[in-house]
Amino acid sequence: MAGQLIDVLRSGLSAKQNAPVKTHTEDQKTDAAATLGAYNDLPPEYQDAVVESFLNRVDAQLAKRNAAMAADNRKSNDVAKRNNGARIASLAICLAMAIPLTAIAAANFGLTGFALVWAGIIVIALAFGFGGRR
């Protein structure tokens, strides 16, 4: 019963946060039900200790889950930084090649060559700049 209550509360919170709903294991549900049963069976002077113990276990599970999520986020950020560095290097090479290409095209084909080279450079720069985003 307590496990079902926790699942209902969790599904409501997850829906609000657009996070996937994580179902609990049978051990977790049994533990919650046993804690609720102990709370109801014990006299009031022990009920606070039962609640504190349960909350400590919940805090430990949340800390473990948050640590795993933080590690995943760090990995994603590292990959994004590496990809960003490669994109900047590609754009720098493109612009470095623009100088001699512009000179050659303008000398041989005039304004038409100049315009064609820079149209190509702009297309390549846009492809490098926006190509990796999804």
Is 98 part of a structural domain of the chain? yes
Q: Is the pLDDT of residue 90 over 60?
A: yes
Indicate whether 7 belongs to any domain: no
Structural domain includes residue 112:
yes
Residue 96 lies in a domain: yes
Higher per-residue pLDDT: 5 or 111: 111
Report pLDDT digits (tens) over 95-124.
888 899 999 999 999 999 999 999 998 888
pLDDT at residue 2 tops 70: no
Burial class (CB in 10 A: 0-12, 13-18, 19+), 117: buried
pLDDT-based confidence at residue 19 (cuts at 50, 70, 90)? low
91 belongs to a structural domain? yes
In a domain, 119, yes or no: yes
Cβ pair 56, 34 in contact under 8 A? no
How many structural domains is the chain composed of?
A: 1
Residue 132's pLDDT is what?
56
Cα gap 103→109, rounded to integer Å: 10
Q: Is residue 41 part of a domain?
A: yes
Q: Which domain holds residue 98?
A: 23-130
